[in-house]
Amino acid sequence: MTTLVYGLGESGVAAARALGEGGERVLVADGNDDEGLRATLAALDVPGVLGAGPEILDGIDRMIVSPGVSPANSVLRAAEARGIPIVPEVGLGLELLGEDTPVAAVTGTNGKTTVVDMLHSMLEASGLPHAVAGNSWRTLTGCLKEARSAGLLVLEISSFQLHYLDNPGFEVAALLNVRPDHLNWHSSFDEYVRDKLKVFEGQQAKDLALVSSGDPVGRGAEHGLDAEVLVVGEGDTAVRDGRLLLRGSHLADVAELRFAGTHNYENALFAAAAARRLRAELEDIREALLGYEPRPHRMRVAAEISGVTYVDDSKATNPAAVAAALASIDTPVVLILGGSEKGTDFSELLPCLRACRAVICQGEAGPRIAAYLEDEGFQHVVHVVPDLGKAVERAGVLARPGDVVLLSPGCASFDQFPGYAERGDAFTRFARQLLAAHSEALGR
C-alpha cells in the first residue's frame, strides 16, 4: 500500500516520519514549491513532489492530509472523486496510537486551548500521567511514544482536523460552543457544524459527552448522543452565587481565582468535568484552578498607563471570542478590531459595542468592519487606522483613566503578522513604548 502525505507543514512532516518508522511506503507532496519546502523535503528520507497537482494521486491507496489544506483543494477534490480514502493527520495518529489509550478530546470555536490547558493542569495536580497534543499543541503523530507511555491523551481538535475524521470514539468529548468561523475553509456554516459534531461520533454509553447550556448546537445534539451527556452551565454543574459547582461539589469561589470572565468560568467547569471522569480528585482539581493563570494572548494585561489598562486578547480571532471578552469587562473599553480579511459577519458584536468608548478598526479587514459598524449606527465611536501600531497610538489618545484598551481583533493576523502570538507581542511592545514615552514626558 502506498500512502500520500499531502501538505508539508508540521503535521505532514510528523505524519511522514511516523509512517516511515512503521515501514510503510510513503510519498509526500505539497501544492506549493518554494525554498522552505525544498529544505523540508530534503530533510525527509522519503520521495516527494512539490508543486503537485491531481496527477500525484496515480498509484495512491490512501491520503493523509494536513489540517491547513482546504477540502476545496484540487488534489483533495480529485481524491474524493476517485474514492481514495482521506485521513487527517490526527486520524492517522489515533490509528497508530491504538484503542488501549483513552483520549479526552476538546473542540469548539472558542476556548478549546484554554480548556485543554486547564485540564492539563488538573491532571498534573492529580499526578495522572498524560500527553497533550493537537491544534495549538504538538502534532499527535509526533508524540505517539509519549502518549502510549503515559496511557492517556488530551487532544485539542479543530474543525479542520475533524472534517475527515470518522468515528473516533473518544472517552471524553467536549464541544464548548459553535459560532460562525473559518467560513473561508468550510463550504458553509452547516458543514462547519457537522464537522464540530463529529467529536461525539463513535462514543458509547460508558463515555462522557460535554456540551454547554448556552450553545444551541450542542443542546440540539444532546438527545441524539450515545454517551452520558453532562450539560455545563445548568443544574448542579454551573456557577451559582459566585461558586463553581461540579455535579453539586463546590470547586472554588470566583473571588479566589486568578482569571475572570463568565466564559472562563465555564471553561473551568468543562475542564473539571473531564478531569473528574479521568479520575482526578476534587481537591487536586481545586488546587489547579486556584493556581491557574491564562495563557499568553488571552486577556493578559500588557501595560498600565495613567490609569488605562492595555489588555492583550490577540487569540480572539472571531466575533464570538470578542463578545466573550467584552462581557467580562465592566469598565469602558477602547476596542481594537481587525486583521486579515476572511469575510466574517460581525453582527454578533453589535449588542456588546454599546459599552465601548471607541472602536478602532485596523488592518486589511479594518475598512470593511468600520463601514459595517457605521451603517449599524456606531459611526460616533468608529475610527479607522492602517495597522496595529497606529491603532495603539490612537487608543492612547482616546482612552480615559479607568478604561481598558482591548486588543480583541475578531480576525486572523496574517495581514501583518505570522500568527496571533506575534500580533499580541507587537501590541504589548507598542503599549510599552507608549508607557516609556509617557514616563519620559513626566520626567521632564
Position 77: which residue type?
Answer: R
- Rounded to whole angstroms, the maximal C-alpha distance in the chain is 75
| Same domain assignment for residues 324 and 406 | yes
Domain that includes residue 229, residue range: 98-291
212: confidence class by pLDDT, cuts 50, 70, 90? very high
> Which of 84, 112, 138 lies at the terminal end of a domain, its last residue?
84
pLDDT, tens digit, 9 for 90 and up, residues 71-113: 888 999 999 999 999 999 999 999 999 889 999 999 998 889 9
pLDDT of residue 289: 95
Residue range 141-167: average pLDDT? 93
304 & 425 share domain: yes
Q: What pLDDT is recorded for position 422?
A: 96
Residues 328, 222 share a domain: no
Is residue 437 helix, strand or coil?
Answer: helix
Residue 444 has pLDDT above 70, yes or no: no
Predicted pLDDT at 249:
97
Q: Work out the average pLDDT over 321-331.
A: 85
Q: What does the mean pLDDT of the chain come to?
A: 92
Domain boundary among 229, 260, 291: 291
CATH code assigned at 68: 3.40.50.720
Same domain, yes or no, for 271 and 404?
no
Categorize the per-residue pLDDT at 172 as very low, low, confident or very high, splitting at 50, 70 and 90.
Answer: very high
CA dihedral for 52, 55, 58, 64, sign (positive or negative): positive
Does residue 93 lie within any of the structural domains? no
Q: Bridge partners of 82?
A: none
Provide the pLDDT for residue 363: 97
Order the strands of the 103-107 sheet from edge to edge.
131-134, 153-156, 103-107, 172-175, 208-212, 228-232
Judge whether residue 134 has pLDDT over 80: yes
In-domain check, residue 92 = no
The verdict on 287 and 304 lying in the same domain is: no
- Residue 443's alpha-carbon distances to 229, 309, 331, 431, 437, in angstroms, are 60, 21, 29, 18, 10
Per-residue pLDDT band for 191 (boundaries 50, 70, 90) equals confident
Distance of CA 263 to the CA centre of its chain: 14
Task: For residues 334 and 388, state if they share a domain.
Answer: yes
Question: How is residue 347 annotated by DSSP?
Answer: G
Per-residue pLDDT at 235 exceeds 70? yes
The pLDDT confidence band at residue 385, using thresholds 50, 70 and 90, is very high
pLDDT value for 95: 94
Supply the CATH number for residue 162's domain.
3.40.1190.10
Identify whether residues 235 and 253 lie together within a single domain: yes
| Percent of the chain predicted with pLDDT > 90 | 72
**CA neighbor of 382 nearest in space, from 336, 351, 340, 413:** 336
What integer pLDDT is reported at residue 187 of this predicted model? Answer: 65
Residue 49 to residue 66: CA distance in whole angstroms: 16
Identify whether the C-beta of residue 4 lies closer than 8 Å to the C-beta of residue 56: yes
- Note whether residue 232 is domain-resident: yes
> What pLDDT, on the 0 to 100 scale, is given for residue 342?
81
| CA of residue 14 relative to chain centroid, distance | 21
Nine-digit cell string for 390: 497606529
Of 317, 314, 322, nearest to 298 (Cα)?
Answer: 314
Same structural domain for residues 242 and 120? yes
Last residue of one domain, picked from the residues 26, 61, 84: 84
| Span 390-417, average pLDDT | 95
70 vs 130 pLDDT, higher one: 130
Residues 53 and 144 in one domain: no
Q: Do 201 and 68 lie in a common domain?
A: no
Q: How confident is the model at residue 264 (pLDDT cuts 50, 70, 90)?
A: confident
| pLDDT band with cut points at 50, 70 and 90 for residue 181 | low
Q: Which positions ≥6 away from 238 have C-beta within 8 Å?
A: 213, 232, 245, 269
Which of 103-117, 169-183, 272-286, 362-376 is least confident? 169-183
Residue 430 forms part of a structural domain: yes
Checking if the pLDDT of 186 tops 70, the result is: no
Question: Looking at the predicted structure, is the pLDDT value of residue 240 above 90?
Answer: yes
Q: Is 90 within the bounds of a domain?
A: no
Helices marked H in 10-130 — which ranges? Answer: 10-21, 35-43, 74-82, 89-97, 112-125
Higher pLDDT, residue 438 or 347: 347
Residue 54: pLDDT band with limits 50, 70, 90: very high
Going by their DSSP bridges, the two strands 243-246 and 249-253 should be labelled as antiparallel
126 and 52 in a common domain:
no
What was the pLDDT predicted at 344? 85
Residue 243 within a domain: yes
CATH code, domain carrying 431: 3.90.190.20
How far apart are the C-alpha atoms of 82 and 160, rounded to whole Å?
21
Give the number of domains in the chain.
3
**Would you state the cell numbers that stand for residue 254, as one nine-digit string?**
470566583
Mean local confidence (pLDDT), 360-370: 97
Region 130-148: mean pLDDT is 92
The model's confidence at residue 136, banded by pLDDT at 50, 70 and 90, is: confident
Domain match, 174 and 239 both: yes
Alpha carbon distance 333, 407 (integer Å): 10
Length in residues, the chain: 444
- Domain for residue 262, yes or no? yes
The DSSP annotation for 14-26 comes to HHHHHHHHTT-EE
Q: Residue 27: inside a domain, yes or no?
A: yes
- The pLDDT, as a whole number, for residue 442 is 63
The region of weakest confidence among 109-113, 152-156, 201-205 is 109-113
Report pLDDT for 184: 61
